[in-house]
Amino acid sequence: MASRLIYKATHEADNPFDVSLTESFQLLESQLRPPFPLTILTQPEYSNLNRAILYGILCEPHLAEVHIKHLHGIITDGYSLFTALLTRLVDELYSKLVENVKIQLLGVTSIMIRVSAIGIDSLLVALLRQTRGGDFSKANLWLCSELVTLFSIKWESLLEEQPLVLSSAMYVFLRLLADHCRVSSNSNLDTLKQKEIEFCIRVFKEQFHLCLKIGRDLIRLLQDLVHVPEFQEIWKDLLLFPGNFKTLGFSDISQLYQSRTSSRYFLLRLTPEMETYLRFLLTQVKLGSQTRYQIWFGKKFLNVQEKESVVIDIVRFICCAHHPSNKTILSNVIPRWAVIGWLLTCCSKNHVQANVKLALLYDFLFFHEEVDNIMNIEPAMLLMINSVPKYVDMTQNLLEFLFLLVDHYDVERKDLIVRGVLSALDVLERKGVVQSFDALTSCDLLSSVLKERLVKLLLSKNVVCKKVILPATPELAYTAPSRASCEV
Amino acid sequence: MRGITLHSINADSVFLSGIPRDFHLHAKSMLGIYFRSRRRQLTMLPLKDITPAARNNVNTQFIILEKGKITLEGGQNKTCMGLVADETASVHFQLWNEECDAFEAGDIIRLSNGIFSYQRGNNLVLRAGKRGKVEKVGEFTMVFAESPNMSEILWAPDPNNSGKYVRESVISTHSHIFPPTV
């Protein structure tokens, strides 16, 4: 039987999950009409019936009400299996689902929130991950709109049961807004933008503690929205009147700067497919064999102009959420810095390039050894060092940008940023990520102004950091990575 | 048990030789499911182990590295040459008619009952043929080796085994149609 759940191209193999749902439905179809039997089910029977009902809800909209009643009647596990099936469906098959199935899926998600299903947080996260920045297709904007509506309608119950999901949604909609606010308006998009803005402003105004949960990347995202009138007031409060948020313990924006953003937020902006491809590239593909994979990845995810803004999220993901094992670091697998070097060359627009560089260097600015991870700053430093001499423009460009950030990112809190950068440089040298900074300070190809600045900064590092003597941590056996040239 | 070895043999020939005809008709659908699930578990032949033969018996999985131009053969059939590879070797794969548009570089393909044989002149290619099947099973996540290229090996008839071929020499380490990308 042809699948009613997904579109299947000619010559595409059957999807095992689609087949399992379809087979369960076919097997149990006669039992899915009232009167429902009252027999007690064994575990396999229970799983089968969950799959059959799920298929029924998704593919028979006219009988969905009956199926849902049936579902409520048989559930003995707090809906945990049912939501797990839904989550898997979204992760594996969302982009292939038939339109009507997508509509049913959003409907049943709303019901799962109402019944406080176990695992509803994972399901909502899975759906959030399917929204794409820079994708202005009707289908994608529809999903964004459905989700922001869902989060707004279910605000109260989510706040009570799953407050962290609201933080996740906030991160996603702030990021989407950055893309949505960049294009010239049309009425469809304007309505969506307004809903997204209202949702985010509501979190800021009513539940600021949920914003604090995000950490420093909240500010990174807000920066792209500085021109949106609704966010100007938020900015003013953040910089001048932190008391207006009426949140105990919040007295200065630097508290946000100093709190590292959890890696789960970065995963929110990559589809599972993109994550799989990137992790494959970074664990299996050897340096020198990456060209074809880069071409395929670019063709699929980046080549359409508006879509390139996802590179910002990818770089943040690589720095902060994909930390290779020591075995991988010591192998000839393509290192993270080389992939980031390639990604930087994929950006054609200036504002995307600037944002990608910010994403790459962001943790330098606020680095604090006790809360931050050296692996988050390692790719940027290695990209700078290893690009000498063949791709010295890259080194120059990144170093310039780092100093630009030191000078201008937050003039009022420049001391804090200088301390962050110094502490980052210190830990990189002390832990052996770089043997020394001589490769930069004595590089003839770099501009002398830049070198002087770096030397001056490094001198002050010795003063500031000498007092902090920490034992070398054994967990990172950091032998100097090969100085292979940056293959881009 | 007979069933264990069934999967490597053409299903119809087994039915007709070993099982009564009416049983064949009766149980066709049930066995159909059985065979479908067996076929999924077929051991995949690494590309480095394929040898030219006039038989539809190559079961393997590979990733498409490149596709050439689509051409019309005999005025009506489309064909397209592709470079495909698994982690052991690469080979030239010929796409036929609608297969030409159904697959792209980066697609991971499962080939069942394919054939590796000479085509017009000395072109040694792998293809599905009339009895074989190609299906897309994934994308991207497969490592590959471009060398050796099994189409760039000179084979000679096996003196001890008629109808079989043995390797004589390597013509080229890489494909002459699709030069390696650096």
Please state the rounded mean pLDDT for residues A217-241: 96
Please state the rounded mean pLDDT for residues A394-420: 97
pLDDT of residue A253: 97
Pick from A292, A294, A300, A302 the residue to mutate for testing the B interface (most B CBs within 10 Å): A292
Residue A465's pLDDT band, with cuts at 50, 70 and 90, is: low
Task: Return the closest-CA partner of residue B145 out of A289, A282, A280.
Answer: A289
pLDDT of residue A401: 98
Q: Quick check: B27 pLDDT over 70?
A: no
For chain A, positions 270-289, list CB contacts with chain B under 8 A: 276-277, 280, 284-285, 289
For chain A, what is the mean pLDDT?
Answer: 93
Q: Does A293 touch chain B (CB under 8 A)?
A: yes
Q: Give me the interface pTM, i.e. the ipTM.
A: 0.90
Nearest Cβ partner for A10 among B98, B137, B143? B98
**A302 neighbourhood in chain B, CB within 8 Å:** none
Which tens digits make up the pLDDT trace of A120-140? 999 999 999 999 988 899 999
Show Cβ contacts of residue B161 under 8 Å, excluding neighbours closer than 6 positions. Answer: none
Residue B180's pLDDT band, with cuts at 50, 70 and 90, is: confident
Which tens digits make up the pLDDT trace of B32-82? 444 444 445 568 999 999 999 989 999 999 999 999 999 998 778 999 999
Please state the rounded mean pLDDT for residues A317-345: 96
Show Cβ contacts of residue A191 under 8 Å, excluding neighbours closer than 6 positions. Answer: A145
> Is the CB of residue A392 less than 8 Å from the CB of residue A342?
no
pLDDT of residue B182: 62
Please state the rounded mean pLDDT for residues A58-74: 96
Which tens digits make up the pLDDT trace of B114-159? 999 998 777 899 999 999 999 999 999 999 999 999 999 999 989 9
Nearest Cβ partner for B99 among A11, A13, A292? A11
pTM recorded for the entire structure: 0.89
Residue A464's pLDDT band, with cuts at 50, 70 and 90, is: low
Q: How far apart are CA A470 and CA B108, in angstroms?
A: 49
Q: Quick check: A473 pLDDT over 80?
A: no
Q: How far apart are CA A81 and CA A87, in angstroms?
A: 10
pLDDT of residue A188: 83
Provide the pairing of β-strand B90-96 with B123-127: parallel
Q: Which two tokens stand for residue A429?
A: 């040298």
Q: Does A7 touch chain B (CB under 8 A)?
A: no
Q: Quick check: B12 pLDDT over 50?
A: no
Q: Do B106 and A10 touch (CB under 8 A)?
A: no
Question: Which amino acid belongs to residue A376?
Answer: N
> Is the CB of residue B93 less than 8 Å from the CB of residue B81?
yes
pLDDT of residue B32: 44
Q: Does A13 touch chain B (CB under 8 A)?
A: yes
Q: Do A11 and B110 touch (CB under 8 A)?
A: no
User: To the nearest whole angstrom, how far is the Cα of B23 from the nearest Cα of chain A?
Assistant: 24
Is residue B138 within a helix (H) or strand (E), and if so which, with residue range? strand B133-139
Nearest Cβ partner for B135 among A13, A295, A300? A13
Which tens digits make up the pLDDT trace of A303-327? 876 789 999 999 999 999 999 999 9
pLDDT of residue A134: 86
Q: How far apart are CA A152 and CA A159, in angstroms?
A: 11
